[in-house]
């Protein structure tokens, strides 16, 4: 009897999966450990592994189809074995539709149309002229449109035969229709994008659900602190210059991740999770970091970051980020974090407040490094400053604890040589 392979749960938050591509076809001989297909989950594109030996006798799901957990995907059995598709998992019954015995409300009769107006209606300025159709426009209106930078093809004329006249151009200018700085290339004509409705991906749907749950169920509060990033920037530049022949290039974020792990060691009350009527204290600092990918965000984890040097963390971050962007992360690479860092400094963002990633009790938001006048020992000088913002779950972390954590983090950033010990 053939073995049925069903859609497995490939991540902790997965509820459905999309079968992206079959790697085997019907009739292929398969063994345990063979990769059968690629499946898109809410976190990444993952490979479906076979745990049976035999022949792939039947494929039940076509590529590109979204499949619920437990639904049959394919069957592995003896060559030539006939297999019928098993019944899919039962879905909750939908609410019954209104019965025909209940008469529908009679539609309200439409009011009679008003009599024709004595004056011509205002131009439907938003309706452009049909492509390829010869534009009817008076010489005066054409000249006026050019002077005002208005695209006449987006004006509907009110003159004889739909001809565009001077008054139409003036109305278009007044209503902001057809605008655009022609010739300069400063502003382009036409819509900014196509009007359409797009079904969200599994990842985007999960992100939306989890962030709404976090923001509405977790009592967030925020603590921010401005730090002197000059020493860190100087140390990083020295290391990268001195070790460039060895291919070492550390980022600011590599140092932030290491500093966060050390700050968690000093203030372990932040390295906790809320679990119903109890708080779990984590003995190890598994620091995740946010990576922006197509249509979403994922947080790979640096496990045991408190035991790793910044020279260990740097290459690991690059490897994980590359896998994340290729949608190739495995579940054990993006689950299990105890603290998260979200850095938008490379995008020029001064500061922001991040939403906590449950079950973590806090997340650190890192802004860009800005040169600004600062007072040092009573003298004004130009310094390099960075704003750190800690979002905390008030059920676990109190304000004093959050402030203490940021204080320890600031000390490490302003004396970054301590991160190399």
Confidence check: pLDDT of 27 > 80: yes
pLDDT for the residue 184: 46
Confidence check: pLDDT of 60 > 50: yes
Confidence check: pLDDT of 396 > 90: yes
Model confidence pLDDT, tens digit, residues 303-326: 999 999 999 999 999 999 999 998
Q: Mind giving me the DSSP string for 365-383?
A: EEEEEEEEEEEETTEEEEE
Strand ranges (DSSP E) for 265-378? Answer: 272-275, 278-281, 287-289, 291-293, 296-298, 301-302, 339-343, 362-376
Name the more confident of 25 and 128. Answer: 25
Model confidence pLDDT, tens digit, residues 365-393: 999 999 999 998 999 999 999 999 999 99
Q: Return d(Cα 193, Cα 373) in angstroms, integer.
A: 42
Spatial contact of 341 and 289, defined as CB atoms under 8 Å apart = yes
pTM above 0.75, yes or no: no
pLDDT for the residue 12: 74
Ranges in the chain annotated CATH 2.40.50.100: 3-77
Confidence check: pLDDT of 106 > 90: no
Spatial contact of 360 and 339, defined as CB atoms under 8 Å apart = yes
Name the more confident of 330 and 290. Answer: 290
pLDDT for the residue 334: 93
Region 283-298: mean pLDDT is 93
Active site residue 220: no
Model confidence pLDDT, tens digit, residues 110-154: 444 444 444 444 444 444 555 556 788 888 888 888 888 888 888
Which of the four CATH numbers 1.10.287.610, 2.60.40.1180, 3.30.750.200, 2.40.50.100 does domain 3-77 have?
Answer: 2.40.50.100
Ranges in the chain annotated CATH 3.30.559.10: 210-420
At 109, the pLDDT band (50, 70, 90 cuts) reads very low
Which of the four CATH numbers 3.90.420.10, 3.30.559.10, 1.10.287.3240, 3.20.20.120 does domain 210-420 have?
Answer: 3.30.559.10
Catalytic residue selected from 220, 282, 286, 394:
394
């Amino acid at each position: 009897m053939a073995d049925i392979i069903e859609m497995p749960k490939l991540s902790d938050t997965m509820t459905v999966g999309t079968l992206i591509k079959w790697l085997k076809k019907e009739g292929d001989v398969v063994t345990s450990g063979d990769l059968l297909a690629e499946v898109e989950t809410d976190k990444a594109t993952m490979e479906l592994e076979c745990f049976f030996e035999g022949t792939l006798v039947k494929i039940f799901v076509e590529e590109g189809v979204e499949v619920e957990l437990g639904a049959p995907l394919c069957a592995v059995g003896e060559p030539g074995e006939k297999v019928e598709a098993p019944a899919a998992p039962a879905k909750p019954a939908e609410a019954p539709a209104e019965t025909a015995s209940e008469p529908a409300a009679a539609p309200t009769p439409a009011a009679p149309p008003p009599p024709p107006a004595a004056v011509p209606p205002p131009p439907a300025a938003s309706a452009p002229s049909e492509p390829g159709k010869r534009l009817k426009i008076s010489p005066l209106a054409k000249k006026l449109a050019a002077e005002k930078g208005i695209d006449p093809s987006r004006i509907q004329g009110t003159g004889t035969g739909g001809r565009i006249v001077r008054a139409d151009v003036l109305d278009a200018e007044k209503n902001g229709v057809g605008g655009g700085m022609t010739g300069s290339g400063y502003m382009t004509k036409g819509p900014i994008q196509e009007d359409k409705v797009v079904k969200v991906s599994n990842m985007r749907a999960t992100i939306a659900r989890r962030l709404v749950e976090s923001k509405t169920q977790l009592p967030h509060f925020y603590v921010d602190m401005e730090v002197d990033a000059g020493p860190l920037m100087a140390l990083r530049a020295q290391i990268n210059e001195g070790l460039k022949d060895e291919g070492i290039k550390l980022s600011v974020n590599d140092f932030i991740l290491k500093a966060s792990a050390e700050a968690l060691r000093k203030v372990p009350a932040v390295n906790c999770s809320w679990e119903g009527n109890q708080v779990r204290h984590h003995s190890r600092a598994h620091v995740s970091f946010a990576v922006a990918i197509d249509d979403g965000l994922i947080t790979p984890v640096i496990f045991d970051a408190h035991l790793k040097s910044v020279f260990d963390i740097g290459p690991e971050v690059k490897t994980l980020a590359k896998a994340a962007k290729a949608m190739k992360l495995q579940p054990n690479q993006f689950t299990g974090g105890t603290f998260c860092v979200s850095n938008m400094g490379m995008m020029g963002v001064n500061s922001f407040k991040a939403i906590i990633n449950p079950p973590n009790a806090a997340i650190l938001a890192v802004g860009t490094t800005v040169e600004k006048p600062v007072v040092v020992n009573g003298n004004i000088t130009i310094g390099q400053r960075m704003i750190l913002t800690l979002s905390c779950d008030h059920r676990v972390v109190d304000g004093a604890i959050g402030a203490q954590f940021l204080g320890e983090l600031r000390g490490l950033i302003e004396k970054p040589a301590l991160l190399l010990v």
